[in-house]
Chains A and B, each alone.
Chain A
Amino acid sequence: MATASGTVDTPRDRSLLEPSRGGRLPDRLLKWSLTILSIGVIVLIAYFFARLIVESRPVFAETGFFGFIFDNAWVPSKNLYGALPLVVGTLITSAIALVIGVPIAVATALFITELCPSWLRAPLSVLVEMLAAVPSVVYGLWGFFFLIPKLKPAEQWFSDTFGFLPFVGGTVSGPNYFIAGLILAIMILPIVSAISREVMSTVPRENKEAALALGATRWEMIRMTVIPYSRSGIVGGSMLGLGRAIGETIAVTIVIGNAPVIGDTIFSQGYSLAAVIANEFGEAASDPVHRAALIAAGLVLFILTLFVNAVARALVVRAERGQRAARKPAAGMAG
Chain B
Amino acid sequence: MSADAPVLAPISARRRRADTGARAFVALGTAVAVVPLILVVYYLIKEGLGAWSWDFFTTDPTGSFLGDPGGIKSAIIGTILMVALAAAVAVPVGVGVAVWLVEFGQESKLALGVRYFVDVMTGVPSVVFGLFVYITLVVSGFGGTSFAGWKGSIALALLMLPVVTRSAEVVLLLVPNTLREAAYALGAPRWKVVFRIVLPTALPGMVTGVLLAIARAAGETAPLLFTATIVNATTWNLNDRMNSLPALIFQDVGQAQDRLVEIAWGAALTLVAMVLILTIIARLVQRRSRLS
How many residues of A sit at the interface, in one of the four size bands?
A: 35 or more
CB pair B135 A51 closer than 8 Å: yes
- Decide yes or no whether B60 CB sits under 8 A from chain A: no
Asked if A215 and B18 sit within 8 Å, CB to CB, the answer is: no
A137 touches B26 (CB 8 A): no
Contact between B104 and A31, CB atoms less than 8 A apart: yes
Q: A249 with B125: in contact, given A142-B39, A146-B39 (CB under 8 Å)?
A: yes
Assess the A137–B250 pair: CB atoms within 8 A.
yes
User: Across the interface, do A309 and B120 meet the contact criterion of CB distance under 8 Å?
Assistant: yes
B249 close to A137 (CB less than 8 A)? yes
Q: Which of A2, A30, A222, A301 contacts B125 (CB 8 A)?
A: A301
Q: Which residues of A contact B220 (CB under 8 A)?
A: 135-136
Binds A, one of B8-16, B61-69, B200-208: B8-16
The answer to whether A270 has its CB under 8 Å from any CB of chain B is: no
Which residues of chain B from 92 to 145 have any CB-CB distance to chain A below 8 Å in the complex?
93, 96-97, 99-101, 103-106, 110-111, 113-114, 117-128, 131-132, 134-136
In the complex, A116 Cα to B28 Cα: how many Å?
Answer: 12
Question: In the complex, what distance in Å separates the CA atom of A308 from the CA atom of B185?
Answer: 46
Judge whether A138 and B34 touch: CB under 8 Å.
no
Residues of B within 8 A of A55 (CB): 135
B100 nearest CB neighbor, chain A only: A34
- Residues of B within 8 Å of A88, CB to CB, are none
B16:A249 contact, CB within 8 angstroms: no
Are B191 and A30 in contact, CB atoms less than 8 angstroms apart? yes
Which of the 9-residue segments B51-59, B81-89, B231-239, B260-268 touches chain A? B260-268
**Residues in chain B near residue A70, CB distance under 8 A:** none
Contact A42 B34 (CB under 8 A): no
Chain B residues near A144 (CB, 8 Å)?
A: 253
CA of A222 to CA of B25, assembled, Å? 13
Is A248 an interface position by the 8 A CB rule? yes
10 A-B pairs closest in CB distance: A247-B125, A135-B219, A107-B29, A309-B123, A34-B100, A217-B19, A219-B22, A249-B222, A249-B127, A4-B184
* Other contacts beyond A133-B215, A136-B219, A217-B15: 16, CB < 8 A: A30-B191, A31-B104, A34-B103, A41-B121, A52-B128, A111-B26, A130-B276, A137-B250, A141-B264, A186-B36, A247-B126, A247-B128, A281-B226, A301-B125, A306-B123, A306-B124
What are 15 A-B contacts defined by CB distance under 8 Å?
A1-B184, A35-B100, A39-B110, A41-B114, A42-B117, A105-B33, A106-B29, A108-B29, A111-B27, A133-B276, A137-B221, A141-B264, A145-B47, A250-B221, A298-B132
Interface residues of A (CB under 8 A from B): 1-2, 4-5, 8, 17, 19, 23-24, 26-27, 29-31, 33-35, 37-42, 45, 48, 51-52, 55, 103-108, 110-112, 115-116, 124, 126-128, 130-131, 133-142, 144-146, 186, 189, 193, 215, 217-220, 222-223, 243, 246-250, 253-254, 274, 277-278, 281, 294-295, 298, 301-302, 305-306, 308-309, 313
